[in-house]
């Protein structure tokens, strides 16, 4: 069906077509980016005396619903000084429309003094940092583990990139002098953070993990 348009109407119609043509590829590209984040898992590693670096322990991949890593300690499993977190991408496969959060837990004395598991906010909530996790007496834990929880992404939420972080504290949580250590961004390939230490780089009491998203 055809209709007659005035010259001004034709101009408006053409302008609308041009805007649609210009905006549609950008929207499609944004949607593609949001859907193309890699499948991943989370790792944790502990260090003592700047050189006694323990095994890197991993959660299951997000595509399998996540879960908790084995406990990670330094080489003698006693009072580590620093902790690193890793964002490890799968060799293939995409995350898809999945929401996620990360958690952390501390234990001492061969697992007999295990504290509460503490979770970050969900990525769909803008990410953020977990409360500090301590062992049951809040003093010099020997081991840590990380956890990954996955759910369906809420409608209308898109995540374009993310990275993970870790921070440790001492004297309960009074010593805030340590720095927060970050992994590389997911779109940069992920990887390990530097080792996070407290103000004197010696025997922290607590640990927090976080997610940065945009």
- Report if residue 28 sits inside a domain: no
Instruction: Decide if 5 is inside a domain.
Output: no
Is 147 inside a domain boundary? yes
Residue 162 resides in a domain: yes
Query: Does residue 65 form part of some domain?
Result: yes
Residue 1 located in a structural domain: no
Between β-strands 196-197 and 82-94, what pairing exists: parallel, antiparallel or unpaired? Answer: antiparallel
Segment 51-58 long-range contacts (CB within 8 Å, at least 24 positions apart): 52/76, 52/80, 54/80, 56/86, 56/192, 57/145, 57/146, 58/86, 58/88
Which residue matches tokens 């890197």?
Answer: 56
In a domain, 206, yes or no: yes
Which residue do the tokens 């080489």 mark?
Answer: 75
Domain range for residue 195? 36-213
Confidence at 174, pLDDT banded by 50, 70, 90: confident
Q: Which residue in the block uniquely carries the two structure tokens 């490890």?
A: 88
Q: Is residue 4 part of a domain?
A: no
pLDDT digit string (tens) for 97-144?
999 999 999 999 999 999 999 999 999 999 999 999 999 999 999 999
Answer yes or no: is pLDDT of 89 > 80.
Answer: yes
Q: What is the pTM of this model?
A: 0.84
Say how many domains are in the chain.
1
pLDDT tens-digit readout, 44-62: 999 999 999 999 999 999 9
3-state class percentages of the chain: helix first, strand second, coil last, to nearest 5: 20, 40, 45
- φ/ψ of 17, rounded to 5, equals -65, -40
Average pLDDT over residues 167-175: 90
């Amino acid at each position: 069906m055809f209709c007659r348009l005035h010259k001004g109407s034709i101009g408006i119609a053409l302008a609308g077509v041009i805007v649609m043509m210009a905006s549609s590829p950008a929207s499609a590209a944004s949607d593609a980016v949001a859907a193309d984040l890699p499948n991943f898992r989370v790792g944790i590693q502990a260090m003592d005396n700047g050189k006694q670096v323990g095994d890197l322990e991993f959660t299951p991949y997000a595509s399998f619903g996540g879960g908790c890593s084995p406990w990670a300690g330094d080489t003698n499993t006693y009072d580590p000084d620093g902790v690193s977190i890793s964002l490890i991408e799968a060799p293939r496969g995409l995350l898809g429309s999945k929401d996620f959060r990360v958690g952390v837990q501390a234990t001492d004395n061969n697992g007999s003094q295990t504290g509460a598991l503490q979770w970050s906010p969900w990525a769909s909530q803008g990410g953020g940092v977990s409360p500090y996790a301590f062992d049951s007496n809040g003093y010099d834990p020997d081991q840590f583990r990380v956890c990954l929880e996955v759910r369906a992404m809420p409608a209308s939420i898109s995540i374009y990139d993310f990275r993970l972080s870790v921070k440790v504290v001492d004297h309960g949580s009074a010593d805030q002098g340590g720095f927060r250590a970050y992994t590389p961004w997911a779109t940069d390939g992920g990887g390990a953070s530097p080792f996070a230490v407290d103000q004197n780089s010696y025997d922290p009491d607590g640990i927090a993990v976080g997610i940065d998203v945009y």
